[in-house]
Amino acid sequence: MKQTLLKVHILLFLLVVTACQQNNGPIDQDSFSNKETSESYKETDDKIIIGFSMDTLAEERWLRDRELFKEAVEALGAEVEILASKGDDALQIIQAENLINKGIDILVIVPHNAESTAMIVKKSHAAGIKVLSYDRLVRNSEIDLYVSYDNEMVGELQAKAITKLVPKGKYVYIGGPETDYNAHLLKKGVFNILQPLIDKGDITIVYDQWTKDWYPEYAFANMQEALRANNNEVDAVISANDATAGKVIQALDERGLAGKIPVAGQDADLAAAQRIVEDTQTMTVYKPLKELADQAAELAVKLAKGEEVKVERMINNGKSEVPSILLSPIAVDQKNIDETIIADGFHTWDEVYRRKDK
């Protein structure tokens, strides 16, 4: 009977995915890794099987996360199936259900929508499967473990770097998506530093807007609007990540302001590193992804085996106190770019300085 129900679930899943392909175009097969053809992992061997549900692979950093996490899991003798939902809430839920029904030992999730993915946690727990929240916290759920960089600290590092250069003036804040809890943490960190200066009257926030789904084009439109509304009289910009910072700089460049107005980002993307050495982006925040992937893989295997995981911090996600491990990010600018992201091999010297040499 269970086998019949399982086959029905899988058939329904395939029908829904087919419908998604017909309505939204083909799903990127690169987002599927180590895909099993069997109905259940438990029918094959006793290896720990990790399901990794990702929001997107559209940005450079998530491609890195995917490969680093896969390598870390396999180095521990476990296996992983990776599915990316292209920023589609419904598809992420369907994909997670598929992983759960296949009998994974633990689910690791990068939520697209911090609220709606609580349903995934509930379904996983109903099947006796623990859930680890990777980089982004799932809200209003009883998540088993959260592993990330300290996103509030990321925002603080951005604001400290920019206020050091521009202690007084008109600031623009280009945030991430309102549906991503990390975006709220980043903004909180930024305003931890800015608010005392705002209260003193030294800094004025002349534009503050979220960026839907982290899409750079929305950031570009927002920055254009900020410049129009203020007659190009803007003194500094803090952007929630490097992809949005790149579009902020494009908007500035159209008005001959690129390199004249400090811009902060985060993620240490290659394009951002290149902009830093070119003097168009002031700084980024580097979060060594291998450390994050290694930690998450090791802890996921421990949880799957029922082993104890010791944590020193608890974070409230709106429903429960979530055991959390938060790593420390690193501020990067022209002065330390060689000693950080290049020395770590995150990007090579040739890659970073290529544009400058041309």
Neighbouring residues of 171: CB distance < 8 A, sequence distance ≥ 6: 162, 194, 203, 204, 205, 206, 234, 235, 236, 237, 238
Q: What is the pLDDT of residue 43?
A: 52
Neighbouring residues of 116: CB distance < 8 A, sequence distance ≥ 6: 89, 93
Query: Do 217 and 352 lie in a common domain?
Result: yes
Q: What is the pLDDT of residue 354?
A: 80
Its domain, for residue 194, covers 151-287+331-357
**280 residue type, one letter:** T
Query: Do 110 and 42 lie in a common domain?
Result: yes
Query: Do 58 and 127 lie in a common domain?
Result: yes
Query: Do 67 and 177 lie in a common domain?
Result: no
> Residue 341 carries which DSSP code?
I
Q: Residue 330: which of 141, 179, 160 has the closest Cα?
A: 160
pLDDT tens-digit profile, the chain (358 residues): 444 444 444 444 444 444 444 444 333 434 444 443 334 555 556 899 999 999 999 888 899 999 999 999 999 999 999 999 999 999 999 999 999 999 999 999 999 999 999 999 999 999 999 999 999 999 999 999 999 999 999 999 999 999 999 999 999 999 999 999 999 999 999 999 999 999 999 999 999 999 999 999 999 999 999 999 999 999 999 999 999 999 999 999 999 999 999 999 999 999 999 999 999 999 999 999 999 999 999 999 999 999 999 998 999 999 999 999 999 999 999 999 999 999 999 999 999 998 554 4
Look up tokens 């206020």; give the residue.
163
Query: Do 227 and 312 lie in a common domain?
Result: no
C-alpha 232/C-alpha 206 separation (Å) is 11
The SS3 assignment for 100 reads helix
The domain that contains 107 carries what CATH number? Answer: 3.40.50.2300
Q: What is the pLDDT of residue 102?
A: 95
Query: Do 105 and 59 lie in a common domain?
Result: yes
Query: Residue 171 half-sphere exposure, CB side, CA atoms within 13 Å?
Result: 27
**Residues 313, 318, 320, 325, CA torsion sign:** negative
Burial class (CB in 10 A: 0-12, 13-18, 19+), 144: buried
Query: Do 121 and 90 lie in a common domain?
Result: yes
Query: Do 129 and 244 lie in a common domain?
Result: no
Query: Do 341 and 196 lie in a common domain?
Result: yes
C-alpha 265/C-alpha 287 separation (Å) is 12
C-alpha 112/C-alpha 92 separation (Å) is 8
Strand partners, 311: none
- According to DSSP, the β-strands at 313-316 and 321-327 are antiparallel
Q: What is the pLDDT of residue 292?
A: 96
Which tokens go with 230?
């203020």
**How far is it between the farthest Cα atoms of the chain?**
69
C-alpha 72/C-alpha 293 separation (Å) is 7
Query: Do 281 and 296 lie in a common domain?
Result: no
Q: Residue 241: which of 222, 277, 214 has the closest Cα?
A: 214
Query: Do 221 and 254 lie in a common domain?
Result: yes
Q: What is the pLDDT of residue 23?
A: 41
Count of domains observed in the chain: 2
> Residue 135 carries which DSSP code?
S
Q: What is the pLDDT of residue 312?
A: 86
> Residue 33 carries which DSSP code?
B
Query: Do 183 and 106 lie in a common domain?
Result: no
